[in-house]
Amino acid sequence: MIEFVPQLLQRRVTANTRIRRARRLPVPGETAGALGMRIGAQDVIARAYPPKIRRALSLTRVIGVTEAEVPKRLLKQVGDPVEAREIIIAKPINFGVQRLVYRAPEAGQITAIQGSWMILDLYGQPYDVPALYRGTIVAVEPRQGGTVEAQGALVQGVWGSSAPGAQAKEAVGVIKWLNKTSDGILEAESIEADARGAILVAGGGVTAAALERATEIQIGGLVVGWLQPELRARAKNARFPVMVTEGFGAKTMCAPIYDLLTALNGQEAALNGRYQLRGAEACRPELFAPLAASRMLPSDAPAELDQLEVAPRARVRGLCEPYLGWIGTLPETFWLQWLITDAGTPLPATLVEWQTVSGEKELVPWTNLELIG
């Protein structure tokens, strides 16, 4: 018997929980929410502006005015803010019937005017961080963002299309089931025009043609049971988030995830494709469907479900063949023992009672299991 019990990987699949998620800017900016404020999934919680771009313009060249004409042709003065496409200077042409104008290329501010030269500071497009999770702001970080507390159903996957260090791929939309079987393949013909902005769900895999069709229709996101290895790069390059619940290669979506996603069909949800396997910011991709206020947990309930613990009767999921995706429980009398592989390598293992028709028990390597709940 092995006295030391190493921790297992964890995956949350629950119909009702309370979660807290930090929503932060990559660079300092400004926060748009207050502590205790209710916030929608698509409401902006923080905003940052890119560094200003200073541009020097010769008004003589762009509009053909002389230095003496500049003051009377200007519609904006030094220090004035300008919006994108707003007219800064105008000159009448064709006997005053028409006029030639210069518009601000982007939002910015007029910094200086000297003679026929103008200095324009352009702000660029702001970077917004939406709340993504409909709930309440429970913490505010000045110039960074805040933390949102939300209640609802949570499904975590094993792989997401948002690479570490890159901009997170996120979506808010209505869950739309296609091919309502745990192993159904999502084909291009199944994706119709009404899927625009929706989060599509398929129990099995997805074809390359379906990924292209999804891009054309501009779906919100995609949740599938498995993904062909050769489609991994295409999924990462897609503009929408992709979450895989089981892994790569043909598999069947496990029963708890399939049942919960089926029950959530037609509800609004948030899909976060961010995936990082290791490190301080390790996280799984997740789909979150907020609950109606009438179904929320009481206010004195824990802020978030406790970490899953290795204990007798704990629910586990197989990670490798031949029991990949199977759901089982640890025995009432639980301990680890050594399992000698065909190569002669000893591995820590435990008995698992699989939830199959025969209810068989099998000695499974410890590293081939994950807690699920």
Q: What is the CATH number of the domain that holds 279?
A: 3.50.30.10
- Least confident among 73-77, 278-282, 304-308, 363-367: 304-308
DSSP string, 211-265: HHHHHHHT-SEEEEEEE-GGGHHHHHHSSS-EEEEEEESS----HHHHHHHHHTT
Do 197 and 284 sit in the same domain of this protein?
Answer: yes
Residue 142 lies in a domain: no
Task: Name residues whose C-beta falls within 8 Å of residue 298's C-beta, 6 or more positions apart in sequence.
Answer: none
Q: What is the CA radius of gyration of the chain?
A: 28
Residue 294 has pLDDT above 90, yes or no: no
Residue 302 has pLDDT above 50, yes or no: no
Do 44 and 84 sit in the same domain of this protein?
Answer: no
Report the distance separating Cα 247 and Cα 228, nearest Å: 9
The angle at the Cα of 370, spanning 365 to 373, to the nearest 5 degrees, equals 145
Residue 299 has pLDDT above 60, yes or no: no
The pLDDT value recorded for residue 137 is 94
Number of domains in the chain: 3
b/e per residue 27-52 (b: at least 16 CB within 10 A): eebebbbeeeeebebebbbbebeeee
Mean of all residue pLDDT scores within the chain: 86
The pLDDT value recorded for residue 348 is 86
pTM: 0.77
The pLDDT value recorded for residue 118 is 92
Do 80 and 158 sit in the same domain of this protein?
Answer: no
Residue 217 lies in a domain: yes
Average pLDDT of the segment spanning 67-78: 90
Residue 138 lies in a domain: no
The pLDDT value recorded for residue 292 is 67
Average pLDDT of the segment spanning 272-289: 84
Residue 300 has pLDDT above 60, yes or no: no
Q: Which domain holds residue 242?
A: 16-48+149-295
Do 160 and 279 sit in the same domain of this protein?
Answer: yes
Which of 295, 326, 349 delimits the end of a domain? 295
Residue 328 lies in a domain: yes
Which has the higher per-residue pLDDT, 87 or 343? 87
Which of 104, 122, 140 delimits the end of a domain? 122
Residue 338 lies in a domain: yes
- Least confident among 113-117, 151-155, 277-281, 346-350: 277-281
Give the CA dihedral 65, 70, 75, 78, nearest 10 degrees: 130
The pLDDT value recorded for residue 260 is 93
Do 101 and 166 sit in the same domain of this protein?
Answer: no
First to last CA, the chain: 27
Q: What is the CATH number of the domain that holds 100?
A: 2.40.50
The pLDDT value recorded for residue 94 is 85
Residue 31 has pLDDT above 70, yes or no: yes
Residue 309 lies in a domain: no
One-letter amino acid at 58 equals S
